Structure 1
Amino acid sequence: MSSLYNKKVINRLKRSEGQIRGVLKMMEEEKDCKDVVTQLTAISSSINRAIGLIVAENLAQCVSDREADGESAEQSIQEAIDLIVKTR
């Protein structure tokens, strides 16, 4: 496992994966749409938090790597911000 992604983030995504399977089962069983949407909203929030954690925890490393490749720190930071904003 890469040190870029800690166990907390990986476990969060595994939980989301399980929740998605649960939603698919709910849909197959024709459960109430309100319940399905509630679960999908929870999954979406969890994934958005994972994205935020990944960007926050890895921003310094990503900037350093990009600078080594000749990009500016400002450009790397702006790309990170754009990724976060795009998910909202």
Structure 2
Amino acid sequence: MEYNNQIKNRLRRIEGQVRGVIGMMDQSKDCKDVVNQLSAIRSAVDRVIMYTVGENMQYCIREELENGGESTDKVLEEAIQLLMKSR
């Protein structure tokens, strides 16, 4: 599976957010502000996970069908397991 630039850019933004939180901690910013930023980071990571699992599921289903497979149940089950593992 190839990862497009959009998803890589999202991860770079998340990386910047993490650096920002570290900076906030170094400056002894208010706990509420730090937690708000950490929550935003978690939400952004969750969106990346969902996008990645969804794209992978589409890729695997197409591959299964192109190779003559009739059941995509295994692909769906693996996608669900990935999502559950991410929580």
Q: CA RMSD in A?
A: 1.9
Instruction: Name the TM-score, length of structure 1 as normaliser.
Output: 0.78
**1:21 corresponds to which of 19, 22, 25:** 19
TM-score by length of 2: 0.79
- 8 Å contact kept, 1:4–1:58: no
Of residues 52, 55, 58, the one that matches 1:57 is 55
Q: Deviations over 1:20-56 (max 9, x none)?
A: 0000111111100100000000000001001111111
Counterpart of 1:80 in structure 2 is 79
Larger of the two Rg values belongs to structure: 2
Structure 1: runs of 5 or more not aligned: none
- Post-superposition shift, 1:84? 1.3
In the comparison of the two structures, how many residue pairs are matched?
A: 81
Residue number among 32, 37, 40 corresponding to 2:38 in the alignment: 40
**Taking every aligned residue pair, what percent have the same amino acid on both sides?**
48
User: For residue 53 of structure 2, what is the amino acid of its counterpart?
Assistant: V
- The letter for the 2-side match of 1:58 is N
Aligned to 2:3: 5
One-letter amino acid of the structure 2 residue matched with residue 83 of structure 1: L
Q: Which runs of 5+ in 2 are unaligned?
A: none
